[in-house]
Amino acid sequence: MPRCVVVVGLQWGDEGKGKVVDLLGAEAQVVVRYQGGANAGHTIVVSGQKIVLHQIPSGILTPEVLCVVGPAVVLDPETLVEEMKSLTAAGYEVTPARLAISRSANLVLSYHKELDRLRERGPGRIGTTCRGIGPAYEDMVARRGVRIFDLCDADRLRSRLREVLPERNALILHLGGSPVSLDELVERLMSFRQVLEPFLADTRALLWERFCKGERVLFESAQGTLLDVLYGTYPFVTSSLTTAMAAFALTGVPMPSDAAVVGVMKAYTTRVGAGPFPTEHDGQMGEYLRTRGKEYGATTGRPRRCGALDLPSLRYAAQLNGVSHLALMKLDVLSGLEEIPVCVAYRRANQVVETVEPSQLGELQPVFEMWPGWTQDLVGRSEKELPENARAFVERVSRAIGAPVAIVSLGSDRKDTILRFNIWS
Ligand code: IMP
């Protein structure tokens, strides 16, 4: 019986992790977000009401769950306060009893967003979300970050910014942007102090305490394995560690031997931003998936690139994360396709490769199989009511990746989900 579950994306993000965390988090006592920032957009639909979360863990939608934001999340105070307000307006309780934010988390400030935007105008653009994530992580590891507890003392904040801002402003000027005023920045940041200070905590100690009590803890990742800064399609990646192993290193708790790792994947593939995507369909099929799957970014509204399921990349991601269970999302989107293209291997010259490293993706040719499709709408069906070919699709995916499919999602609402077995028990 695992006391700890990590939910991780196996593709390029947008797999539907928010829905899975919402479902599994309902049976947890603690939900932890451990990396990324406001570049993430977790969309959850509860009784027809759509909620998009960027920085606050999806567990906030379940009363009684404690949500924790770890020290390796980069927080934009401006949008964090907005997110808190809109959750409160939607009727969810956002109090220090429900949300603890690491005192050590680094801030994403206006100059990080400006730098991100300016770099994205250049030739080497990554297609970032322009939320300042890369520049904020650069500052964190370069030891020139501003941390959230710096907001608790105006003099300390001013002196820290006085140290780090001139160099950032010089870079902004060099890239053709407008420098940021120290006084305005301090004034703006201090306006968030009153709201944020009560939420700051020693999250490592808090998590350790909850672990010792034997509570169920769920770790929620953002983005996906193929966007990991070390193991993804570098340099077309985000700037954080997105894998399951990172959950423990980044929050300061030891990995329990019985942790379950739920790999979340869509029944096809999408990607936002630049970088290799060998199974991409830019014709009719891509448009079909984009329209039926409503594949537009939850954070930026950008149309997502769409393509076929990529089993060799999924095998890699499952292996890397130590996936124990799969959550197969958006199976309903495939309804209406007579045949479903699936990439089952890659070929280089005469060599066939069944598990692929992201760094090789640009050099290999995908090998497709056509799997039989179905015409029936799947929304609201139970497992028994699924058309035979849809059931066969689930089984083939499970066999190909080598892990059981515990969750099948057939629509955006909480109720449009097949829970094949309980991961917590
Ligand atoms: P950044 O994280 O904004 O720096 O963007 C780097 C890359 O990660 C870009 O290709 C983004 O489109 C992608 N990315 C970042 N966050 C997400 C996400 O939540 N879903 C999907 N792609 C993302």
pLDDT of 299 strictly over 80: no
In angstroms, the CA 339 to CA 184 distance is: 58
pLDDT of 317 strictly over 80: yes
Q: Which pLDDT value is given to residue 52?
A: 85
Q: Does the Cβ of 37 fall within 6 Å of ligand 1?
A: no
Q: How far is the CA of 126 from the centre of ligand 1 (A)?
A: 9
Task: Tell me the residue type at 313.
Answer: S
What count of other Cβ atoms lies within 10 Å of the Cβ of residue 93?
12
**Which residues is 75 bridged to in the sheet?**
107
Quick check: bond before 166 cis, omega within 30? no
The answer to whether residues 10 and 321 touch, using CB atoms and an 8 Å cutoff, is: yes
In angstroms, the CA 29 to CA 210 distance is: 9
Mean pLDDT (the chain) is 95
Q: pLDDT (tens digit, 9 = 90+) per residue, 80-130?
A: 999 999 999 999 999 999 999 999 999 999 999 999 999 999 788 999 999
CA distances from 121 to 32, 68, 185 (A): 34, 35, 24
Task: Tell me the residue type at 85.
Answer: K
Q: How far is the CA of 8 from the centre of ligand 1 (A)?
A: 15
Q: Which pLDDT value is given to residue 297?
A: 83
In angstroms, the CA 321 to CA 260 distance is: 10
Atom of ligand 1 nearest to the CA of 222: 19
Q: Does the Cβ of 52 fall within 6 Å of ligand 1?
A: no
Q: Does the active-site annotation cover 14? A: yes
Q: Which pLDDT value is given to residue 221?
A: 96
Q: How far is the CA of 10 from the centre of ligand 1 (A)?
A: 14
In angstroms, the CA 122 to CA 119 distance is: 5
In angstroms, the CA 304 to CA 294 distance is: 9
Q: Which percentage of the chain shows pLDDT scores above 70?
A: 100
H-only helix segments in 293-369:
311-321
Handedness of CA 3, 253, 42, 268 (dihedral sign): negative
Q: Does the active-site annotation cover 281? A: no
- pLDDT band for 41, please (50, 70, 90 cuts): confident
Tokens encoding 372: 């039989």
What lies within 8 Å, CB to CB, of 85 at 6+ separation is none
